Each structure stands twice: as structure tokens, then as C-alpha cells.
Chain A
Amino acid sequence: MAKSLMIVDDSATMRKIIMRTVRMSGLKFERTEEAGNGAEALQKLGGSPVDIILCDVNMPEMMGTELVKKVRELDSCANTKIVMVSTESSKELIDGVMADGANGFINKPFTPEKFQEKLSPLID
């Protein structure tokens, strides 16, 4: 089944890097969206939900951790998988965001292999 992806990161450079790495990982998405902050992400998700969200943690305005909670309140995103992508890797952060409804955590810096490993179980 055709899958869709949204990349949420406040850095345009990082969004491009993530996009490139996803492509290099061999994972195929029919539709890919980008959002520079939580509000933009929510707005886009309201219109058309996606299968996977790759979400930064540290973002101005709305933290990724907050976005996870908000997405989980959306009925349209009931089947959406959220994978956090962050340089911060403290146990408290990971545990907290997973408890709030995230489905996975990828540390920056990452490799295409890491995306493959963490995302493919969520896609199938």
C-alpha cells in the first residue's frame, strides 16, 4: 500500500537531510510532506493525515513532545506512527515521549540503515 510521510523539523537543512536519508534507506513513500513547526504540522495533518511522522524534539513555538500529544488527540491520525528524531537521547525524554504516544526514537546523527531499521517495522 502506498505510504505517506511527514518530516517536522525547524531546520530546513535538517528536513532535507532527513528526506535524503529516508530516500537512501530504500524506503518508498508516495507522498512526503514537510513542516517547520508543530502548528504547521497540525494544520497539514488536519487536511490529510500521513502514515509516518518523523518529528524533531527541540523546536521553537511547539516542542516535538507537545506535538505528539496533540497528534494523538486527532481522530484522523489514529493510525499515524510517530518517530522522534533528536540529538537529545536522555532516557527520561525517550520514556516520556513514548508514554505520550510516540512509536519510536531515532538519534541524530543517523544513518540510512538506522531509518531502515526503525521505520520498516512500522510501515509493514
Chain B
Amino acid sequence: MATSQTEVESQAVELSAEAFEAFCDDISGMFGADMACEQQDVTTVTVKDLKKHFKKLTAVNSVKAEGVMDGTFQLVFDQGGLFTLSGVIVMMPANRILEEIKRGTVEDMEAMNDAIGETGNLLVGTWDRVFREGLEGHGHFVQSNSFIGKPWDEPEKTIGLAADGEFVFVSYEMTIGEYPAFKCGVIFPRTIFGSKSDAEQAASAQEEPKEKPATEEAAATEEKAEPAQEEPEEKPATEEATATEEKAEPAQEEPEEKPATEEATAEQKEADADTDASDNTIEEKPAVTDEKEESKEPAAGVVSETIQKMAESPAVLPGESTDIFLAICAKDIMEKNIIWGNPDDSVQQVLAKMQQADAGYTMVGSDGALEGIVSKSDIAGAISPYLRPIFAKWRRPLDDATLQIKTKWIMTRPVHTVSPDTSLAAIMQNMSQLGQRGLPVVDKQGKVQGLVTVFDIFRFMLNDNPNVSMIGKTSKAPPLI
């Protein structure tokens, strides 16, 4: 049995790396997300130091330990970790997660309370397992409390951490998939390692002071007194990054340049509030509000550019006049045979339908009312590339699992639509501005009548044989699965 305090301490520090790694493996296994973590530092810290490490919202899971480790310790995640982990767990769309990482508030967090609580629960479960296997004399770990917010000004009240205590802090950097790395760590109060058989250790004055209001106050004042010099001299690269990021965003205010994902989220929120798809119907005027709008399909860039040039330049195809762009309307060139899917359909079901019909898009909704739209590119982005036949050798169950993602998580919404009488010129301009290669045609009642894709336009402009359908065909591309 581990007897000395130092021995237990060093074992616990070692096992904490193992536990965080095991947690990454567990979450990877459960959710098919690629996760990794790397130990940064083992230091003795005070609450003030912790505050510098975790400046934004912080999630603190208090864990009650019994056995050779006896007392309570804390598992902490920074704001990025908090939102990335719980977002991945509830399968929140990537753009929403990225948004919450940057600007998530306590309110956003409350909406995800259940997911965050379960994340902490899973984390403690993994820790308990790793310590049971690795630490002789381990009793068990139970999650005793979870706190989300800014705990450092009243650490004793919020997370049960003595304001003037000294702690062993092991910090880690964790990554999930393509999301930005985030910080997490474990805070062990020194007293937790005091083994009962170790009389001299127990007697040493390491005990956690219960309350020392005077010192606490002093610490608080001290903190207030140092507004700018908070940065320590030497800091690990990651912290610097966080610090810079924080300086860049003084409050919850919107910065000048926002990431593309934010628009998507804003739009999604809008869509949540107002599901009437016809609100987004583009009439004769080109979409003016949409200079913010980012393409969900970067590949559309080249095509869109071409269309834009065609639309802008007075160049005329043989036998045509520019008037034709105004005279021809959506209803004249749209494809009427369109595919529908349900928001709860799996990607696999949708893909099967699209391949069957050789279509590039699926309308999502019911009874002609549009809730979203899914393109082949959306699907390609959502499913594992290892599902392609050429990668068959490397295909694993987790790759197959991506086929079960629900359509509603990947569909684009709100959907930009045109009316049956929208002119070809307006359609082309909208396509190029929105970076969209297909626009559903919706009538005044909000019913979908058809779909216009760039291929329909090409076909029309090239005077191709109208009997040959080219609707959204990607037959030259390798099959997705």
C-alpha cells in the first residue's frame, strides 16, 4: 500500500494523465470524435494562479475521493472545453459549437446543463475506473458537485476550494476533431494525499484552513489592484493564445469580422423562431442582405464566379439576347421531379434516395413545406471518407456510424428560395451571391414546385437537348459510398 504522501501524490499525478487519456478514448469510442490530450504542466498553484488559467466560463466538477486519497478534488475545463465536449455529446452542428466556444454565455450553458452534467459524470466515471486499476488503496470517486461560471472570486463558496490554499495543478491541452484545442486540468488539494497511516504527514501543517476571512479579503483586494499586469512572465504557448484571444474580445460584443459559422448560427436561430420558409423567398431583386452569407459549399466558388461573370457581362451567347435572362423564369427551367426526405431520416436513407434518382439535392420537410435542404456536398462533409469503396480496407464500425447522422443536423436552413416567376438573371445573381448551386422554387402558398440548379441553367444556355436531364448530376465524381 502506498504510504507516504509524496508517493500517493506522484502516483495520482501520473494517473491523472492516464485518466484524461482514457477519457479521450472513451469519448472517441462513444461519439466517433477524434480526441487527444497532452499534459502541459504540473505546478503548485493558488486560486489566483488558477484564475489566470481559466479566465472565461469554467466548468468545475468536484469529485469526492475515498480511500488512500481522501477528500475532494476538482476537474476543470475552460469555456472551449465545456462547449466542445457537451456540443459533441449532443451532436450539435459544428458551427453552433464554434460559436458557443467563442461567445457562449452562462445562459447558453444552462440550456445545455443536462449535457454538461452528463459529461462530468462520464469524466468522473473514467477517472474512477483508471484509479481503481492503478492506485492501490483507491476507494472510489463520486461526482459531488458541478459548477459552471466564474468560480475564482468566491472559490470556497462556489467550488469548495480554500481561497488561500495551495494546490497541485496538472494542466492538459485537449483536442476534439477539428475544433480548437482547449484547456483542462485537475486541482488536487495537498491534503488529499495525506494517508491515514502517515502520522507525521497528518501532523504537518498542510491541513486545509477552514476559513480565513482576512487573508481571503486581502487576496481579493490584491486582485482588484492589479488590472493589467495579470499575465505571468513565462507562459506556455497555449495560454498565450488564449490570452490574446481574450484581449481581442473585450466583452460579449460582436467583433468586426465574424467567422462564417456565426452567420449560419444566427440564421439557424432565426429559423428556429420563424419556420416560414417563404420569408426567405427571393423576388426579383437580388439578395441584398446576404453579403454576409457564406457558402456552405466552397466548391461552388468557381462555378458561381463563372455565373456571376456571365450575369454581369453583356456577352451574349449565339442567337440569344440579354433580354432572355429577364424573360425566362424559374418555372421555365426548373426540375419538377424533386426528392423529399424527413428531418429524422438518416444520412444513409437520404443518400440512397439521391443515388437512386441521381439527384444532387434533397428537400427536407413534409407536405411540400420546406424545412431545409441537403446537398450531396453536405452529406460528403458529414460522413466518414473511409466509407468510399477505395478505402474499404480501412473501414471501421465508427465510419459506418456516421451514416446514422440525422438529416436535420446537416441540412442547410433556412433555405433560400425563388418564386416561380423569378427571372433567370435574378436567379443567377442570387446563386453567385449566395454561393449556392441550387435554389428551390416555392409558390406563394409556400409549397415547393421545383428546383433550379446551375445545371438547369447551363442546359438552357447551351441549348442542350432538353430531353436529357442533367439535374444536379455528379456522375463524374466517385460515389460517396
- Give the B-binding residues of A (Cβ under 8 A): 11-14, 16-17, 20-21, 23-24, 86-90, 107-113
CB neighbours (8 Å) of A23 from chain B are: 404
Most buried by B among A11, A21, A24, A87: A87
User: Can you identify 15 A-B contacts, CB atoms within 8 angstroms?
Assistant: A11-B118, A11-B121, A13-B114, A87-B122, A88-B142, A89-B125, A89-B128, A90-B132, A108-B121, A109-B26, A109-B125, A111-B26, A111-B29, A111-B30, A112-B397
Contact A13-B90, Cβ < 8 Å, known A88-B140, A108-B122, A109-B30: yes
CB nearest to B113 among chain A residues: A13
A90 to B288, CA, bound (A): 62
In the complex, the answer to whether A17 meets B128 with C-beta atoms within 8 Å is no
In the complex, the answer to whether B90 meets A89 with C-beta atoms within 8 Å is no
CB neighbours (8 Å) of A90 from chain B are: 132, 140
In the complex, the answer to whether B397 meets A113 with C-beta atoms within 8 Å is yes
CB nearest to B406 among chain A residues: A20
Q: Min CB distance, B474 to chain A, in Å?
A: 28
Interface residues in B, total, Cβ within 8 A: 25
In the complex, the answer to whether A17 meets B89 with C-beta atoms within 8 Å is yes
In the complex, the answer to whether A112 meets B401 with C-beta atoms within 8 Å is yes
B115 at interface, CB cutoff 8 A: yes
A77 to B27, CA, bound (A): 33
CB neighbours (8 Å) of B142 from chain A are: 88
CB neighbours (8 Å) of B114 from chain A are: 11-13
A21 to B27, CA, bound (A): 12
Contacts A109-B27, A109-B126 supplied; 14 other A-B pairs, CB < 8 Å: A12-B114, A17-B89, A20-B404, A87-B121, A87-B124, A89-B125, A89-B128, A89-B132, A90-B132, A109-B23, A109-B125, A111-B26, A113-B29, A113-B397
Proximity string of chain B (154-173) to chain A, C-beta cutoff 8 Å, 1 when within and 0 when not: 00000000000000000000
Contact A88-B125, Cβ < 8 Å, known A24-B404, A112-B397: yes
CB neighbours (8 Å) of B128 from chain A are: 87-89
CB neighbours (8 Å) of A110 from chain B are: 29-30
CB neighbours (8 Å) of B115 from chain A are: 13
* Cβ-neighbour of B129 out of A12, A16, A89, A113 (below 8 A): A89
Contact A13-B118, Cβ < 8 Å, known A109-B26, A110-B30: yes
CB neighbours (8 Å) of B124 from chain A are: 87
A98 to B115, CA, bound (A): 29
B134 at interface, CB cutoff 8 A: no
A17 to B349, CA, bound (A): 21
Q: Min CB distance, B86 to chain A, in Å?
A: 8
B117 at interface, CB cutoff 8 A: yes
A90 to B124, CA, bound (A): 13
In the complex, the answer to whether B30 meets A17 with C-beta atoms within 8 Å is yes
A21 to B397, CA, bound (A): 12
A23 to B121, CA, bound (A): 22
CB neighbours (8 Å) of A11 from chain B are: 114, 117-118, 121
Q: Min CB distance, B343 to chain A, in Å?
A: 15
A16 to B409, CA, bound (A): 15
In the complex, the answer to whether A109 meets B90 with C-beta atoms within 8 Å is no
A107 to B140, CA, bound (A): 14
Pairs A-B, 3 closest by C-beta atoms? A87-B125, A109-B26, A111-B29
CB neighbours (8 Å) of B401 from chain A are: 24, 112
